[in-house]
C-alpha cells in the first residue's frame, strides 16, 4: 500500500514539475522524480516475484546510477548554471554498467531466475547506493559552504534536506545490500516499512510545502568563465541565448534590469562589466545578454552607454555644470574617458557634447 502511494506521488510530482515551466531546472527535477518512480516500480516487481524479461533487467540499476547526475544538473540549473557539460563525467558509471550487462547478456550469462542472486547484481546495487551517497555528500557540502548566503531562502532548506534524505536512504540501502550479500540476511520487513514510510512522509512534505520553492530559480551567480570578465569599454558583447526563458521569469528579469539601471544607476560605474551587472541581479551573464538583446535590441555595451548619454544630456542642461569641463561631465555620467564620451555621445545624438551644450537655451530665472 505504501509503495503504491509512493509511486503515485513520484509521478504526480513529476507531472507538476513538467507543467510548471519555470525553467530548465524544473525539467531536471521532474526527470529526477520519474527516474525514482521507475526504479521503485522495478524493485517492487522484483520483491513481488513478478517475472521480467532478461533484456530489461539492467534498467533499475542503471536508473540508480543516473539519479545522481540528474540531481547535480537540477541543483546547478537551480543556481543559474546553464552548462550541462560539467555533469557529463557523472554518467560514466551508468555507461560502464550498460556495457558490462550487454556483454553478459550476449554471452548468455544473464538469466532471469539467477540474475538477482548474482555477484553483478549485488555489486552494481552496492556501487549505485554508494555513488548516490558520495554525490549527495559532495552536493550537500557545496550547498552548505559555498552557497550559505542563500540560507534565508526556503529553497536552501528543501534542497539541503533532500540531499540529506538521499544520503540517509542510500546509506541504509547500502547496509541492506551488504547484509544480503555477505550474510544472506534479507532486508527485514520492519526496515522496508521504515524506509517506505519515511519516503512517503518526505514526498508528501515536498508536495505540500516544498515543491513551490524547489521550482523557484535561485540564480545565484558564480563565476564559471573568466571570459566574462571583459570591460564594457573594451568589448562589444552581442550574444543570443540558446534557450528561451519562460515569460514569467523573463518579466522578472526585465524588472530587475530596469531597477538596477534606473533606481540604482549602476551605469555610473565606469568599470561595470557584464558579469558584475549579472551578479547584482542574480542572473547568469548569458541570460542577461540575451534579454538585453531581445528587449532593447541592443548589446550590453550599447545599453549602458545609452543611459550614460541620457545622464550626460541631463548634466549638460544643468546650470550647475555651466563652468564644468567636459571631462567632469563625462566622469559624472559614467564614462571612463573624455574621448569615449565624445565618441559615444556623437554616435548616439549626432552632435558633439559641446555643440549640444551650445544649442541649449537656458531660461533665465525671474
pLDDT band at residue 87 using 50, 70 and 90 as cut-offs: confident
pLDDT band at residue 75 using 50, 70 and 90 as cut-offs: confident
Compute CA distances 233 → 28, 103, 225, 270, 338, whole Å. 38, 59, 19, 8, 12
Residues in the chain: 366
Least confident of 29-33, 158-162, 345-349: 158-162
pLDDT band at residue 325 using 50, 70 and 90 as cut-offs: confident
Average pLDDT, the chain: 79
Beta bridge partners of 231: 273
Pair 307, 267: CB distance under 8 Å: yes
Pair 218, 80: CB distance under 8 Å: yes
Pair 136, 71: CB distance under 8 Å: yes
Compute CA distances 10 → 32, 41, 72, 277, 332, whole Å. 9, 10, 19, 39, 57
pLDDT at 88: 78
Report angle CA 143, 148, 154 to the nearest 5 degrees. 80
What is the rounded distance in angstroms from the CA atom of residue 307 to the CA atom of residue 292? 13
Residue linked to cell 518512480: 37
Q: Which residues neighbour 297 within 8 Å (Cβ) at sequence distance 6 or greater?
A: none
pLDDT at 308: 93
pLDDT digits (tens, 9 = 90+) for 226-264: 333 333 333 333 333 345 667 777 888 888 898 889 888
Phi, psi of 20 (to 5 degrees): -70, -40
| Count of other CB atoms within 10 angstroms of residue 145 | 8
Q: Which residues neighbour 352 within 8 Å (Cβ) at sequence distance 6 or greater?
A: 342, 345, 346
Task: Report which of residues 220 and 269 the model is more confident about.
Answer: 269
User: Mean pLDDT throughout 189-206?
Assistant: 71
User: Mean pLDDT throughout 338-345?
Assistant: 89
pLDDT digits (tens, 9 = 90+) for 174-185: 887 887 777 776
pLDDT band at residue 153 using 50, 70 and 90 as cut-offs: low
Task: Report which of residues 103 and 358 the model is more confident about.
Answer: 103
Torsion of CA 329, 335, 338, 339, to 10 degrees: -150
Task: Report which of residues 84 and 347 the model is more confident about.
Answer: 347
What is the rounded distance in angstroms from the CA atom of residue 112 to the CA atom of residue 72? 33
User: Mean pLDDT throughout 15-23?
Assistant: 85
Amino acid at each position: 500500500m505504501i509503495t503504491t502511494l509512493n509511486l503515485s506521488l513520484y509521478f504526480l510530482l513529476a507531472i507538476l514539475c513538467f507543467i510548471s515551466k519555470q525553467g530548465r531546472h524544473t525539467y531536471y527535477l521532474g526527470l529526477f522524480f520519474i527516474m525514482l518512480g521507475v526504479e521503485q516500480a522495478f524493485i517492487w516487481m522484483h520483491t513481488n516475484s513478478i517475472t521480467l524479461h532478461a533484456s530489461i533487467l539492467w534498467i533499475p540499476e542503471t536508473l540508480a546510477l543516473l539519479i545522481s547526475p540528474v540531481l547535480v544538473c537540477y541543483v546547478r540549473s537551480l543556481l543559474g548554471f546553464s552548462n550541462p557539460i560539467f555533469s557529463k563525467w557523472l554518467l560514466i558509471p551508468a555507461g560502464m554498467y550498460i556495457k558490462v550487462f550487454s556483454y553478459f547478456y550476449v554471452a548468455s550469462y544473464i538469466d532471469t531466475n539467477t540474475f538477482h542472486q548474482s555477484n553483478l547484481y549485488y555489486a552494481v546495487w552496492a556501487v549505485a547506493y554508494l555513488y548516490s551517497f558520495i554525490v549527495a555528500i559532495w552536493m550537500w557540502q557545496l550547498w552548505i559552504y559555498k552557497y550559505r548566503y542563500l540560507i534565508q531562502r526556503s529553497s536552501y532548506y528543501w534542497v539541503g534536506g533532500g540531499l540529506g534524505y538521499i544520503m540517509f536512504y542510500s546509506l541504509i540501502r547500502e547496509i541492506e545490500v551488504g547484509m544480503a550479500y555477505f550474510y544472506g540476511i534479507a532486508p527485514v520487513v520492519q526496515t522496508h516499512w521504515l524506509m517506505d514510510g519515511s519516503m512517503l512522509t518526505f514526498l508528501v512534505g515536498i508536495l505540500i510545502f516544498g515543491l513551490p520553492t524547489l521550482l523557484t530559480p535561485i540564480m545565484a551567480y558564480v563565476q564559471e568563465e573568466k571570459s566574462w570578465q571583459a570591460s564594457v569599454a573594451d568589448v562589444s558583447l552581442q550574444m543570443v541565448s540558446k534557450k528561451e526563458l519562460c515569460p514569467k521569469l523573463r518579466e522578472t528579469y526585465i524588472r530587475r534590469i530596469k531597477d538596477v539601471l534606473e533606481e540604482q544607476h549602476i551605469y555610473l560605474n565606469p568599470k561595470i562589466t557584464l558579469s558584475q551587472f549579472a551578479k547584482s541581479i542574480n542572473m547568469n551573464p548569458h541570460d542577461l545578454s540575451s534579454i538585453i538583446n531581445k528587449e532593447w535590441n541592443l548589446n550590453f555595451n550599447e545599453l549602458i552607454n545609452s543611459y550614460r548619454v541620457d545622464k550626460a544630456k541631463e548634466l549638460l542642461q544643468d546650470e550647475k555644470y555651466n563652468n564644468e569641463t567636459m571631462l567632469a561631465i563625462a566622469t559624472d555620467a559614467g564614462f571612463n574617458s573624455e574621448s569615449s564620451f565624445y565618441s559615444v555621445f556623437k554616435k548616439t545624438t549626432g552632435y558633439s557634447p559641446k555643440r549640444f551644450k551650445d544649442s541649449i537655451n537656458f531660461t533665465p530665472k525671474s
